[in-house]
Amino acid sequence: MAIKYTFMGHATHLLDIDGTKIVIDPFFTSNPLTNVAADSVEADFILVSHGHFDHVEDVVAIAKRTGAKVISNLEITNWLQKQGVKNVHGQQHGGGFQHEFGYLKLTIAHHGSGLPDGSYGGNPAGLLITTAGKKLYFACDTALFLEMQLYGEEGIDLFVVPIGDNFTMGPDDALKAVRLVNPKLVVPCHYNTWPPIAQDGDAFAARVNEDDTEAWCQALKPGESLEL
Ligand code: NI
Ligand code: MN
């Protein structure tokens, strides 16, 4: 079993798990950090953490073109059905489900979740994925919170954490999050997309790597991948 993780810039991520393609928070069309066109993206599953524009922009188009199953909170999957997306699976944070690609639990996230048209988007979530003998925790858009320590107790192989500040944790709180989660590998996201969230990813990685935890951090450029 092999997992390939690709950072697409901002908070959009791809997973290839033994050929099963998963897209997390598809934001391609207006994403200044990627030239990848939404209509070229392959997907078997699409995971949506919350309703904000920079996480749902391309979900309807990719879902309709590929037939991928979209997994999100129930308010967002209901909204997607009204947009004509038929293949959906609703969960809520705290709840997990064994999907074909692995076990997905929606975690707490402290953030908003309003949809672009003003519809109520329920509660925002993080994504905790258990697959191929590994655990991947995407904190998604969130503030720092102490329960991250409980997710860390599961033994996290990859922790994807926002560092942009302003809308989410900044680097100082993200470093505290790494200490709480104590993962093997850390990748920062949700930064450098626009001026209010400008951050130095390599400087954050250096802070993590000099810190007194086992975690190794690598700031990926958009389009770069890691094999887990
Ligand atoms: Ni957001
Ligand atoms: Mn966001």
Q: How far is the CA of 138 from the centre of ligand 2 (A)?
A: 13
Which residues are near ligand 1, the ion (C-beta closer than 5 Å)? 52, 141
Which pLDDT value is given to residue 1? 77
Q: How far is the CA of 48 from the centre of ligand 1 (A)?
A: 11
Q: CA 177 to CA 174: how far, in whole Å? A: 5
Q: How far is the CA of 85 from the centre of ligand 1 (A)?
A: 22
Q: How far is the CA of 212 from the centre of ligand 1 (A)?
A: 30
pLDDT < 70 regions, the chain: none
* Among the bound ligands, the one closest to the CA of 124: 1
Q: How many distinct helices (H) and strands (E) make up the chain?
A: 6, 14
What mean pLDDT, rounded, does the chain reach?
98
Which residues are near ligand 2, the ion (C-beta closer than 5 Å)? 54, 141
Q: How many CB atoms lie within 10 A of CB 165?
A: 18
Q: How far is the CA of 55 from the centre of ligand 1 (A)?
A: 7
Cβ atoms of 169 and 110 within 8 Å: the answer is no
Which of 183, 219, 182 has its CA nearest to residue 203? Answer: 219
Q: How far is the CA of 102 from the centre of ligand 2 (A)?
A: 25
Q: How far is the CA of 1 from the centre of ligand 1 (A)?
A: 32
Q: CA 23 to CA 12: how far, in whole Å? A: 7
Residues 50-71 pLDDT 10s: 999 999 999 999 999 999 999 9
What structural domains and CATH numbers belong to the chain?
A: 3-220 (3.60.15.10)
* Among the bound ligands, the one closest to the CA of 51: 1
Long-range pairs, 93-102, Cβ under 8 A, ≥24: 93/123, 93/125, 93/126, 96/128, 99/45, 99/69, 99/71, 100/20, 100/44, 100/45, 101/15, 101/17, 101/20, 101/22, 101/44, 101/45, 101/129, 101/131, 102/17, 102/129, 102/130, 102/131, 102/132
Q: How far is the CA of 190 from the centre of ligand 2 (A)?
A: 7
Q: How far is the CA of 53 from the centre of ligand 1 (A)?
A: 8
- Give ∠ CA 36-39-41 in degrees, rounded to 5: 65
Q: CA 150 to CA 12: how far, in whole Å? A: 25
- Give ∠ CA 202-157-152 in degrees, rounded to 5: 100
Which pLDDT value is given to residue 64? 98
